[in-house]
Structure formats: C-alpha cells, structure tokens
Amino acid sequence: MTLAVATANWAMRYPADQPTVVTGSGKVTLPAYCMLALTLIGIAIVVYVARGNYTGQPLWCPIIDGCNVVVNSPYSRVFGVPMSYFGFIYYLYMFALAARLAFDPLSSSLRFRAVLYAGVGAATSMYFMYLQLGFICQVCIYCLISAVTTFLLLFVAIWHFQATRHRVMKR
C-alpha cells in the first residue's frame, strides 16, 4: 500500500529544473509556421526556374518580360551551376530549420541560425537584384518574388527571435 502511494505522489510531482513551455495562443510558433509557408513559396519558385534551366525550355514571364534573359545570362551560374539550384538548397534548409523551430521554438541555436541564414539569403538576393538592374538590365519576376520571399523570411525570423527572447531569458 505504501509503495502505491509513493508512486502516485512521485507521478504527480513535476521536476523544478525542467520548465514546461505552454505556447497558449500559439504566438511563439506562429512565426515558425509563417516561415514554413514562405519557404514553400520559395521552393515552388526555384523548382519552376530550375526545371526551365534543366530542360532548356523558356520560362513563362507574366508581368515583367526579362526572365529568360536573366536566367540565360552569365551571371546566373556559379561554377557552372544554375543559381536556382542554390536557391533550392537554401529554401530546403530554411524549411527544415522552420520545421524544427515549430517543434522547439525556444532553442537558442535554431533561433540564431534562422536569423543568420535568412540574413545571408537576403544579402544574396540584394546582390542578385543589383546584378539584374546594373549589369543585365532586365528583371526576372521569379527572382523578384524570391527576393521578396527571402526578405519576408528575414523579417519573420527576426519576429520569432524577438517573440522568444524574453521566454528564453526566463529559463
């Protein structure tokens, strides 16, 4: 009888050194879900452009008619590899990072990496927009959408970092 009472008492106690994180209204995980949605948009864009690079078919350019000029320019390849392949790797990595942030929103290393890699992506997008406007003199709508998506990823990563900053400090 005493063993059963002792087991019941032990099961009802929570260790003080392991804080329980309750997101409540989901404010902590909302930025991570926004990052997931943005990365899916980015993946869709770069897969379309990469398919055009791989098959050699011209891209459909709806609003701005410069996609094929930009994709076929010498600036669109690094070491012979199309930039859309690098974009796919970037968005795939950001998707995996956002998925991990959705499950562990208070991880300091994940939070830092999300801001760091989103910042690198935004700086890279800014450089490629500079190349399009300054040297190629054409703008690709898919590159523009990808750049906007990357900057939104940076803003959402900073939002997540700020939203979880105080909760991490209380740990």
119 pLDDT higher than 50: yes
Residue 170, pLDDT score: 59
Task: Report if residue 144 sits inside a domain.
Answer: yes
8 domain residue, yes or no = no
Q: pLDDT tens-digit profile of 141-171?
A: 999 999 999 999 999 999 999 988 876 555 5
User: For the segment 21-47, what is each residue's pLDDT rounded down to a tens digit?
Assistant: 444 444 567 899 999 999 999 999 999
18 lies in some domain: no
**Domain assignment of residue 1, yes or no:** no
Residue 45 lies in a domain: yes
Q: Under a CB-based contact definition with an 8 Å cutoff, are residues 88 and 47 in contact?
A: yes
Contacts of 50 (CB under 8 A, 6+ apart): 82, 84, 85, 87, 88
pLDDT value of residue 27 = 57
9 located within any domain: no
Q: Considering the domain boundaries, does residue 21 fall inside one?
A: no
**Long-range contact list for 160-167, CB < 8 A, 24+ apart?**
160/28, 160/31, 160/32, 160/35, 160/101, 160/105, 160/111, 160/114, 161/111, 161/112, 161/114, 161/115, 163/27, 163/28, 163/31, 164/28, 164/105, 164/106, 164/111, 167/21, 167/28, 167/106
The structure's pTM equals 0.80
The overall average pLDDT reported for the chain is 84
Nearest C-alpha neighbor of 154 from the set 89, 97, 77: 97
End-to-end CA distance of the chain, in Å?
38
Which whole number is the average pLDDT over 100-110? Answer: 90
* 155: CATH: 1.20.1440.130
Q: How many domains does the chain have?
A: 1
State the residue range of the domain holding 43: 27-56+66-170
Q: Residue 118 domain-assigned?
A: yes
Selected residue with higher pLDDT from 125 and 11 = 125
